[in-house]
Structure 1
Amino acid sequence: MDLLALADFTLVARHGGFGKAARAAGRPKATLSRRVAELEASLNLRLFERGARVLKLTEEGRALFERAGALLTELEETAAAIASGGDRVRGRLRISAPLLFSQIAMGKLAAGFVLKHPEVRLEVTTEDRTVDMIEEGFDLVIRVNPDPDEGLVGRAFLHDRLVVVASPDLARPTDGMTVPAVLRGGSDRTAWMVRTPAGRETIEVEPILGLSSLVMIRDAVRAGVGAGRLPVSLVSHDLAAGRLIHWGDVDAPDIVLWTLYPTRRLLSARVSAFLNHLKQAFPDGTPDELASFIAG
């Protein structure tokens, strides 16, 4: 197999088109088109579906891109490391992270990482949707309680739990009374199941405010508008200071943050370095560690 043609194929696949790839590489579009056609002929496979305006990988093309792209990247990094005389962490690192974790921790984490590794160009995109790592060019994603994915492997690096909290000025309901509640989004939930030292308890709630961000919910709960369900790491300092009161732990599975990356991709030095950076920041992965990191 012609490795140069394979490299041209991965270049086109990564950029999503011959024109974009040609502009990015400073090479003629016709040359890239010819090289990819030659690769398809040698493999007797169609790697792209060519429409009038859209270029899309076939199933075989996607499989080849996932494997060959990773191997070629590793070869380039190895050659660069040898040429520079060492295993320095360098190059571009793209990470996708969820909104709340980005708001409260990623700025500080990212700054610390680039101070350690100044030759890395770190790019963090904040979004809660499930991204396609290969198609969208991410090296690492951080997700909350992700669904199993045979195409990805990962590590759990943080655990958290939901608690019901309220301002000290808001009376805790008794005898089936309802309490005003601040909810995420447009939820119409009317009851919360919580665990307390006395056992399980149902808190009847009346939704009065819907907000899309947990940080906004915390601020509204602090202001005394109503009770809220929030990660304990986000409110532990408010609880310690008496600004909020703990009504109980939400009767639900823990919140677990994972780092995910493709199984078939050789783990780059950049990804390994960032995973080690997370491990140093959260060695035990507890809610208290995240709370201290946020406050520090």
Structure 2
Amino acid sequence: MDLLALADFNLVARHGGFGRAARATGRPKATLSRRVAELEAGLGLRLLERGARVLKLTEEGRALYERTGALLTEIDETAAALASGGARPRGRLRVSAPLLFAQTAMGKLAAGFALRYPEVRLEVTTEDRPVDMVEEGYDLVIRVNPDPDENLVGRIFLRDRLAVVASPALVRAAGAAAVPAVVRTTSVQAAWRVMEQPEIAIDPVLRLSSLVMVRDAVRAGVGAGCLPVSLVSRDLAAGTLVSWGDVAGPEIALWALYPSRRLLSARVSAFLDYLKAAFPKGTPDELAAYLAG
């Protein structure tokens, strides 16, 4: 495939027509038209529907544009960085983050990153569902204990653990009696497994969709809750909540992931480095201190 012809096709697709692309770049309209026609002939596909006044991408053309536009932009940025002797982050950076991390930490992180890298246009969306990074146009996603994916690479930047916590006024039931509990709306657990202790049977008296809401309800004394330590660290230190024990099971690991087949752009590298600088140890206490700061 001719990369120059592919670049011209992306140029025309981005500007919505040969004339607009020619005016924006100073390239001859006839040259752009010829290069796109050569690309179509080489692929054996029609990429553009050429009407009298309107130009539209075909289904194949849209798929090619969506899959190659970001790659060509990254190649251009890399070449420009090498030519200038440095990799100054710039351009759009789309990040997807899980709800709890977005609610508690992402606003502060995003603001600090924007101040440090004013030429990057950071866009953060909140998604707890798995996203298709390539199809949905994300540069980086933050996920909790993600399933293995051969198309993604990344690193752990934070670790946390779960603990059962409650108001000091809430009496823990003796024996097998269930304790009142505040749980997530998606929870189906009948008991919490606490390390080196008997299971805690629970009676869900309140179901809430957000862990922040669960914490606030536990603070109010409605029932016990199973929460990340980083979210209740200050309450435990102040004695407004008490711990009934750490939950048995795998640790909570927050990963920053990006497509393995995509060049790592300067803006993605800068964001990864910023996460590492914000949480150099990656511990629950460090996250709690960051949230309190």
Which TM bucket (shorter chain)? 0.7 to 0.9
Once residues 21 and 179 of structure 1 are traced to their aligned partners in structure 2, the CA distance between those partners, rounded to angstroms, is 62
Partner amino acid, structure 2, of 1:251: A
Which residue pairs with 2:127 in the alignment? 127
Distance in 1 of aligned mates of 2:186 and 2:260:
37
Q: Secondary structure at the match of 2:96?
A: strand
Aligned-partner Cα distance in 1 for 2:69–2:256: 21
TM-score, normalization: structure 1? 0.83
Q: Secondary structure at the match of 2:41?
A: helix
**Is the aligned partner of 1:90 residue 2:78?**
no
SS at match of 1:131: coil
- SS of the residue 2:164 aligns to: strand
Specify the SS of the correspondent of 1:189. Answer: coil
- Structure 1 71/205 Cα, relative in aligned 2: closer, same or farther at 3 Å? closer
For residues 181 and 102 of structure 1, do their structure 2 counterparts lie closer, same or farther at Cα, with a shift above 3 Å needed? same
Which residue, out of 274, 284, 295, partners 2:292? 295
CA-atom RMSD in angstroms: 2.9
Listed as ranges, the matches of 1:55-70 within 5 Å are 56-57=59-60, 66=67, 68-69=68-69
Given the alignment of the two structures, is residue 22 of structure 1 paired with residue 19 of structure 2, yes or no?
Answer: no
Which one-letter code corresponds to 1:213 in the other structure?
S
Q: For residue 276 of structure 2, what is the aligned residue in structure 1?
A: 279
In the alignment, residue 185 of structure 1 is paired with which amino acid?
Answer: T
Distance 1:138 1:227 in 2: 37
The answer on 1:245 being equivalent to 2:239 is no
> Is the CA contact 2:45–2:60 (under 8 Å) kept in the aligned structure 1?
no
Secondary structure at 1:194 match in 2: coil
Equivalent residues of 2:114, 2:120 under 8 A apart: yes
CA distance in 1, matches of 2:257, 2:286: 21
Give the match for residue 116 of structure 1.
116
Instruction: Please report how far the alpha carbon of residue 85 of structure 1 lies from its aligned counterpart in structure 2 after TM superposition.
Output: 6.7
How far off is 1:191 after superposition? 1.1
TM score, norm. by length of structure 2: 0.84
How far apart are the structure 2 equivalents of 1:34 and 1:169?
A: 78
Contact persistence 2:11–2:21 (CA under 8 A): no
Measure the CA separation in 2 of the matches of 1:268 and 1:179.
Answer: 51
Note the residue ranges of structure 1 that are not aligned, 5 or more in a row.
13-17
Contact 1:70-1:266 at 8 Å conserved across structures: no
Amino acid corresponding to residue 95 of structure 1 in structure 2: V
Q: Structure 2 regions of 5+ residues with no counterpart? A: 23-28, 49-55
Contact 1:188 1:207 in 2 (8 A): no
Which residue of the partner structure matches residue 260 of structure 2? 263
What secondary structure, in the 3-state scheme, does the structure 2 residue paired with 1:274 have? helix
CA shift at 1:55, angstroms?
A: 5.1
> In structure 2, what residue type is equivalent to 1:227?
A
- Note if contact 2:78-2:265 (Cα within 8 Å) is conserved in structure 1: no
* Matched residue SS, 1:150: coil
Compute the displacement of 1:293 (Å): 0.4
Confirm or deny: 8 A CA contact 2:169 2:221 kept in the other structure.
yes
Q: Residues 280 and 186 of structure 1: is their aligned pair in 2 closer, same or farther, counting only changes over 3 Å? A: closer
* C-alpha contact 2:46 2:58 (8 A) present in aligned 1: no
Letter in 2 for 1:259: A
Residues 89, 273 of structure 1: 8 Å contact kept: yes
Q: How many residues are paired up? A: 277
The Cα of 1:9 is off from its aligned counterpart by: 4.6
**3-state SS of paired residue (2:289):** helix
Percentage of matched positions with identical amino acids: 68
**Residue number in structure 2 paired with 1:15:** none
Q: CA deviation at 1:181?
A: 0.6
State the 1:292 CA deviation.
0.5
2:214 to 207, 217, 221: 217
Shift of residue 112 of structure 1? 0.9
Q: Distance in 1 between matches of 2:173 and 2:46?
A: 66
